[in-house]
Amino acid sequence: MSNLLNISSSPHVRSKTSTKSIMYDVLLALAPAALFGIFNFGIRALVLIVVCMVSCVLSEYIWQKAMGLPLTVSDGSAALTGLFLALNLSSKFPIWMAIIGSVFAIIIVKQLFGGLGQNFMNPALGARCFLMISFAGQMTSFAYDKAVGLKYLSGKQLDAISGATPLAMIKDGSMNLDWAQVLKMFLGTTGGTIGETSALCLLIGAAYLLIRKVISWRIPVCYLATFAVFYLIFGGHGFNLMYLAAEFCGGGLMLGAFFMATDYVTSPITPKGQIVFGILLGVLTGIFRIFGASAEGVSYAIIISNLMVPLIEKVTIPVPFGKEGIKDGK
């Protein structure tokens, strides 16, 4: 009888979604961007990705073993953190620094606060900001001498390309932007971190996640829309869609909006809260990019908004069915 009758409280709707399936979906969705990064920047990018993923998984394994916690390495969240971190690094980034960053992401940002589900900010972005503060020189040097695919696609025989990201060049005014340049930024044959250059590959991955319903549209759409409005008003270029498109395709905006900001643990669960979160992200990114000293501000915008999530959730708790119109305490 007990096998036939299963009495339990709600929720009764079951789904095959699990932490593991979500993590592997996101890993799969990031594959195009990662592959393009390897194509663009050569074998060094692959080495960096492997090193980050392995050291993240290893540090999670060692921590959980040492602390006597249940092993959750196989759910793929540590591997995903490693991949995110690698995609946020320049392909020339020293290996040992990448290992320190991975250990920081897993041990300090994630495990010290209680592991998956308890971390208050995105571990990969926390580590990226840690590396940015610690090794500013290496983090912002985008020289890539073995940029195989880049040389092939740009049609030039270059031994080394060294220089700022397109976003930085737009900011300091050293680049005359045209639509051809914007197209290059959309395809990804520019300088930058491993995973951020190709908006096209990131959009393919994002479409996969949206179709699989792993992420909702609310955060990315509100984020991008708010940023667009903010940029058109304060950007200093007037109503210029070319500059807006360049801002969208350059830097980590696509990677941040679709993959980092939508992290389940560090984004609001309430629908209204997700909209507020997206707007906050857009405004902060706009402020950092337009008025900040650095050309990029996505990672700082996301971790600051991560810290606001408990507050956002507190004020956007949905009203239970049947309680509409009933005010608190009345």
Positions in the binding site for other proteins (CB under 8 A): 100, 108, 130, 133-136
CB of 165 to other proteins, least distance (A): 22
Please name the residue that has the structure tokens 């209204």. 272
CB of 145 to other proteins, least distance (A): 19
CA–CA gap between residue 287 and residue 148 (Å, rounded): 35
If the CB atoms of residues 98 and 224 are measured against other proteins, the closer one turns out to be 98
What is the SS3 assignment for 161? Answer: strand
CB of 134 to other proteins, least distance (A): 4
If the CB atoms of residues 17 and 134 are measured against other proteins, the closer one turns out to be 134
The number of angstroms, rounded, from the C-alpha of 289 to the middle of its chain's C-alpha atoms is: 16
If the CB atoms of residues 96 and 321 are measured against other proteins, the closer one turns out to be 96
CB of 249 to other proteins, least distance (A): 31
Contact 290, 235 (CB under 8 A): yes
CA–CA gap between residue 304 and residue 248 (Å, rounded): 20
If the CB atoms of residues 132 and 254 are measured against other proteins, the closer one turns out to be 132
CA–CA gap between residue 82 and residue 111 (Å, rounded): 14
Question: What Cα–Cα distance (Å) separates residue 101 from each residue in 37, 193, 253?
Answer: 19, 15, 21
Neighbours of 272 (CB within 10 A): 15
What is the SS3 assignment for 144? Answer: strand
If the CB atoms of residues 43 and 136 are measured against other proteins, the closer one turns out to be 136
CB of 141 to other proteins, least distance (A): 13
If the CB atoms of residues 82 and 126 are measured against other proteins, the closer one turns out to be 126
CB of 300 to other proteins, least distance (A): 13
Phi/psi for 12 (5° steps) reads -100, -15
